[in-house]
Amino acid sequence: MRKHWIDNLRWVTVLLVLFYHVIYFYNNKDVFGGIGGFGPYPDTPQYQDVVMYILYPWFMPLLFILAGVSARYALQRKSAGEWFRARTRKLLVPGTVGLFVFHWMVGYFNTVVADRAGVFEGIPGFVKYGIMAVSGIGPLWFIQLLWLLSLVLLLVRALDKKDRFWTWCGKANIVWIIMLGVLFWLGEQTLIRNPRPESLDGLYNLYKPVFYLICFLLGWFVFSHDEVQEKVKNAWKPLLGCAVVAGAVLTVTTFGQNNTSAEYMGTPLNCLYGWLACLALMGWFNAKFDRTGKFAGYMTRSSFGLYIVHYLVIASLGYMMKMYTQLPPVAMYVILTVAVFTLSPLLYEILHRIPVVRWCVFGEKKSRA
């Protein structure tokens, strides 16, 4: 029986990622990426940036946890070979081939920003195209890393062929489930403090492979158990209350800091909030949103595609408004928010109906229209 609460939580989280990127694109807290804010902090506080402090500690870890749970369910129905081939088509193809078919356009706007310093002067066009394709990775780091973690999972699965460790994890009570937040904290400690600009340190901190592997395996070993899900479900109210308090304290006491820095992410309060939020949302959706309908069904099928295409809308329209109009900031936020939630579905619906393109960009063999 399909667990609709997992589907619903996944697509709701994806929609929050889209909104996060609207705010992030214009942030002035020195968060890498985007085009910058409307004045330096603290002279221009930009209180709308609070969205980043609320969402960033938990939404990507939660997606990896849900991916681990879903992997467990999928491998109960498919062989390892079938599953990994499907993962390769769904994740690796869009994360590599898709860069040269679609995401080079995102990279174009990234390179336009960088080229203000003339760094691409004299470079041949085909080289620029390659640079734009690689620069267009953007949010695709998620699917690239998820493919690598899927590969690691096959090794982990081979080491625990009889599911002995998985069975043992299913005995965890709510206290031990909460205490697993220590692993969440340990994962954040693997980030590189003071990354060197001339190195790949920043890229490592973006992908956070050890941290997200921990989240993915927690989904595989722990949260794929019905018994564990039930315990979290029964405790969703106190978990949500504690998460709200922790998030409020974190936001109030750290607003203005770079909320994606290794120092920030590794703080106990950030980890406490992130972990409690993951648990609370899984419990809440299990308790209240374990159902589906036409809209929820559509979003379950399409949220992956929306995630894939949405950043082009933000990068292109967000850049053009900031650089070539005199619109007030509030108008830019409103227009960009409306655009990302309307043009992204339209773009997805067009692209996934085009043969070859849908395979390259979404890893889809045929249209679901």
Measured between alpha carbons, how far is 27 from 259 in angstroms, rounded to an integer? 11
At 255, phi and psi to the nearest 5?
Answer: -55, 130
Is the pLDDT assigned to residue 365 strictly greater than 90?
A: no
List the structure tokens of 33.
Answer: 């990426």
Measured between alpha carbons, how far is 318 from 336 in angstroms, rounded to an integer? 6
Confidence (pLDDT) at 117: 47
> Residue 124: pLDDT band by 50, 70, 90 thresholds?
confident
Confidence (pLDDT) at 284: 98
Mean pLDDT value across residues 79-105: 97
The 3-state DSSP class for residue 160 equals: coil
Q: What percent of the chain has pLDDT over 70?
A: 97
List the structure tokens of 79.
Answer: 């062989």
Is the pLDDT assigned to residue 125 strictly greater than 90?
A: no
Mean pLDDT value across residues 25-46: 92
Indicate if the alpha-carbon torsion angle 73, 78, 84, 89 is positive or negative: negative
> 219-246 in b/e burial notation, b at 16+ Cβ within 10 A?
bbbbbbbeebbebbbebbeebbebbeeb
Residue-wise pLDDT for 127-159, tens only, equals 889 989 998 999 999 999 999 999 999 999 999
Task: Map out the domains of the chain as residue ranges.
Answer: 4-362
Measured between alpha carbons, how far is 122 from 107 in angstroms, rounded to an integer? 18
> Residue 33: pLDDT band by 50, 70, 90 thresholds?
confident
Q: What percent of the chain has pLDDT over 90?
A: 88
The 3-state DSSP class for residue 257 equals: strand
Confidence (pLDDT) at 65: 98
Helix 226-234 / helix 268-288 crossing angle, nearest 10 deg: 100
List the structure tokens of 321.
Answer: 């408004």
Residue-wise pLDDT for 318-355, tens only, equals 999 999 999 999 999 999 999 999 999 999 999 999 99
Measured between alpha carbons, how far is 21 from 339 in angstroms, rounded to an integer? 12
Instruction: Identify whether the C-beta of residue 216 lies closer than 8 Å to the C-beta of residue 64.
Output: yes
The 3-state DSSP class for residue 255 equals: strand
The amino acid that residue 219 corresponds to is: G
The 3-state DSSP class for residue 157 equals: helix
Confidence (pLDDT) at 149: 98
In this prediction the pTM is 0.96
Is the pLDDT assigned to residue 42 strictly greater than 80?
A: yes
The amino acid that residue 60 corresponds to is: M
Q: Which residue has the tokens 């890498």?
A: 32
Our measurement of the distance from residue 116's CA atom to the centroid of its chain's CA atoms, rounded to an integer in Å, reads 29
Q: Count the helix, strand and coil residues of the chain and give each as a percent rounded to the nearest 5.
A: 75, 0, 25
Average pLDDT, the chain: 94
Which of 25-39, 67-81, 203-217, 265-279 shows the lowest per-residue confidence on average (mean pLDDT)?
Answer: 25-39
Burial of residue 96, with CB atoms counted within 10 A of its CB: 0-12 exposed, 13-18 middle, 19 or more buried? middle
Is the pLDDT assigned to residue 115 strictly greater than 80?
A: no
